[in-house]
Amino acid sequence: MNADLSRKLAKRAGVIAAVVASIAWAPGHANTYNFATPDGSVVGDGPVSASATFATSANSIQITLTDLLANPTSVGQLVSDISFRADGLTSGTGGANVPSANYVAVGAGGITSAGACCANWALTSDNGIYHLTALAGGAHTGPAYLIIGPADASGVYSDANGSIARNRPHNPFIEESAFFTLAVTGATASTVISDVVFSFGTQEGVNVPAMTAVPIPAALWLFGSGLLAFGAIAKRGTGAGRSVMPA
């Protein structure tokens, strides 16, 4: 076997080993659920668009909550809270839920600057329905730190009216996405998330139910990726005029 062939086989073996390792160590302890507002969703202040990704694991529910509406006009179009059902769970609420997020202040003319940290959303539960909100008042955030969608192409909220731009009670905002890790006693990888409802604006009750989602176990994603990687390896080895194991 010549040196060039040895190097190729060693490289291929290394790639295969890496793929096998990624499957063997896949974090199969979590299920992922994706939800979004239906296309064309509208509230009193105009169109809205949002998504949420849930990952359930032992005693934990992680949520990535995203406002998808670009260059909104009114604070009434911004994501303020989300509710959901966690099958079989009724407890595990907590007063302080500070997300990982970027913060932005919107000034005159929709011009942005860095916003002060940090948001503090409240989590409550009622018969298995959990409610995560920025509008709890008291020691919590509202009505600031709502989630605002992306600015326009120039990085300015050029359509923002006075409820967003230079509005001190409503500034700063969470920019586009907030990532929460909720301590929920009894949650497991098998916990089912359903009945998701997004809420918008600074008044309670402006709700948009999400579209139904299908759970996809994280391990399955990685296993599929591994199969694709094996396929790519095989394709590289069986291209025109070549064989996997040259003589």
CA 198 to CA 207: how far, in whole Å?
6
Measure the CA–CA gap between 223 and 202, rounded to whole angstroms: 43
* pLDDT tens-digit series, residues 112-148: 999 999 888 989 888 889 999 998 765 556 689 999 9
- Taking 3-state DSSP, the helix, strand and coil percentages for the chain, each rounded to the nearest 5, stand at 20, 35, 45
Mean predicted confidence (pLDDT) in 154-158: 95
Q: How confident is the model at residue 95, as a pLDDT?
A: 60
At residue 203, the pLDDT reads 83
Task: Write the DSSP string, 156-215.
Answer: S-TT--TTTTT-GGG-SEEEEEEEEEEE-TT--TTPPEEEEEEEESSSTT-EEEPPP---
pLDDT tens digits, 171-191: 999 999 999 999 888 899 999
pLDDT digits (tens, 9 = 90+) for 44-97: 999 999 999 999 999 899 999 999 999 999 999 999 999 999 988 866 666 668
What pLDDT is recorded for position 63? 97
Q: What is the pTM of this model?
A: 0.74
The tens digit of pLDDT for each residue in 19-32 reads 333 333 334 457 89
Domain boundaries, the chain: 29-216
